[in-house]
Amino acid sequence: MPTEQLPSQKELEEALRESPRYFVEAVHEYYQRILMQYIKKHSWGVLDSHELRDAYQETMMAIWERVQKPDFDPDRPLRMVYRIARNIAVTMRRKKMRCKVNADQEVVANAVAGDLTGTTVGLEWRLLSSDERRDFQQTVQEVIASLPPRQRMAAQAFAEVYQELREKDKYRPLAAAMSAISGKTEDVATAKSAWRFARERIQDELARRGFGFMKGISNDGSQWR
Amino acid sequence: MTEVNGGDREERAKEALIVAALHRDDSFDDNVDVDHLPRLTEEEETALESLGPDYIARLLVSDGAAKQNFFESESHSTVGDELAMAGGSAGFGLDRAEEIDDLTSQELEKQRQEILERKRREQEKDGNSD
């Protein structure tokens, strides 16, 4: 469905004030495909089609439960819809990758911030505008989605066990996460190699799209690494 | 964490940005960029369509929301329709047992048995009156 034909946030808000049932019906009618895509995005494509549908159903049930609560605030209901969809996608993704379901996102964010501190890459990142950052993140997601299956799996597994990898400084958790996705035992050396290839492809594409610092190239074209 | 040299630190920073991009939470954004969401495969489209046109009605029934109206339209519905509403048919979208708690399961089963029993009695009655 073309984006311009979707009900606006305001219209959904009005539907919700009218009746929670009306709202849930509108979300399902107009946003079902977008929500499936959104869940796919946040589950990093590791869920199969049935799991994706299950995640959608869980999302709809959670929305229904939420909007019936007497203290529910109907302002900007799409935020609530996306929030629920994302949480369910992340939970199902982690279950599939056999990671700690309640792993704290804050911990990952802190680890990322720690790795950026005092680096040229971190400095270059801070100089990007919000649009450029969004473009960067979009590019990473697109490139990973287009990688060959093993490299894609390695990139997803790396991101999921990132904190653990940093703490242990070993690649065993990467192999374990890849094994969980593939259903086969993955050895550490090949897991590490698949991630290296994936990282190279991601960095190449980012550099090609103007983020040269991912290949150690500054904005003025000089090589610093 | 192990100490790393300058070059390795830059490499780690690049990896950190890749990780952060994947973990980015856009659900607080007012406008999710729907034009850049990943496309659904044919199989995923089919899975979504398999929910059926009455998915929301079934969802609400399974939650008990529409139970009070459950039998209001019984004179216009078929056994198949009613079983679907009660969650007993093969086409029931919420097909994962773990999602239906014990109480709901019991209620759905009770409704299903009531429908079957009532229809059986009606058929017997019709047969006798012929």
DSSP secondary structure string for all residues of A141-162: HHHHHHS-HHHHHHHHHHHHSH
Backbone angles phi, psi at A25, to 5 degrees: -65, -40
Higher pLDDT, A94 or B128: A94
> Would you call B103 an interface residue with chain A, using a CB distance cutoff of 8 Å?
no
By C-alpha distance, the chain A residue nearest B51 is A53
Higher pLDDT, A145 or B102: A145
- What per-residue confidence (pLDDT) applies to A28? 94
Q: Structure tokens of A201?
A: 């492809």
Give me the residue label for tokens 């150690």.
Answer: A216
- Is A169's pLDDT higher than 80? no
How far, in Å, are A5, A178, B8, B27 from residue A217 at the CA level? Answer: 43, 32, 16, 33
Backbone angles phi, psi at A217, to 5 degrees: -110, 125
Residue B68: CB partners within 8 Å, gap ≥ 6?
A: none
Instruction: Give A69→chain B minimum CA distance, Å.
Output: 13
A184-204: b (≥16 Cβ within 10 Å) or e: eebeeeebbebbeebbebbbe
Instruction: Tell me the C-alpha distance between B40 and B48, whole Å.
Output: 10
3-state DSSP assignment of residue A103: coil
Give, rounded to a whole angstrom, the gap between the first and last alpha carbons of chain A: 46
Split at pLDDT 50, 70, 90, the class of B22 is confident
* Number of CB pairs, chain A paired with chain B, less than 8 A apart: 170
Share of residues in chain B with pLDDT > 90 (%): 18
Instruction: Give B91→chain A minimum CA distance, Å.
Output: 14
Residue B63: CB partners within 8 Å, gap ≥ 6?
A: A61, A64, A65, B104
Q: Where are the alpha helices (DSSP H) in chain A?
A: 9-18, 20-42, 49-67, 77-96, 105-116, 120-127, 130-146, 149-160, 162-168, 172-182, 188-208
- What per-residue confidence (pLDDT) applies to B73? 41
> Mean pLDDT over all residues of chain A?
88
User: Of B37, B93, B92, B52, which Cα lies nearest the Cα of A33?
Assistant: B37
- What per-residue confidence (pLDDT) applies to A2? 63
How far, in Å, are A28, A154, B117 from residue A24 at the CA level? Answer: 6, 37, 33
> Would you call A119 an interface residue with chain B, using a CB distance cutoff of 8 Å?
yes
Instruction: Tell me the C-alpha distance between A153 and B96, whole Å.
Output: 27
By C-alpha distance, the chain B residue nearest A157 is B19
> Would you call B100 an interface residue with chain A, using a CB distance cutoff of 8 Å?
no
By C-alpha distance, the chain B residue nearest A104 is B23
Contact, A87 vs A42, CB < 8 A? no
- Is B80's pLDDT higher than 50? no
Instruction: Tell me the C-alpha distance between A166 and A189, whole Å.
Output: 17
Contact, A165 vs A173, CB < 8 A? yes
- What per-residue confidence (pLDDT) applies to A39? 95
> Would you call A49 an interface residue with chain B, using a CB distance cutoff of 8 Å?
yes
Say whether A33 and B46 touch across the interface (CB within 8 A). no
Split at pLDDT 50, 70, 90, the class of B118 is low
- Is A4's pLDDT higher than 70? no
Please name the residues between 26 and 65 in chain B that touch chain A, using a CB distance below 8 Å. 26-30, 32-41, 43-44, 46-48, 50-51, 55-56, 59-60, 63, 65
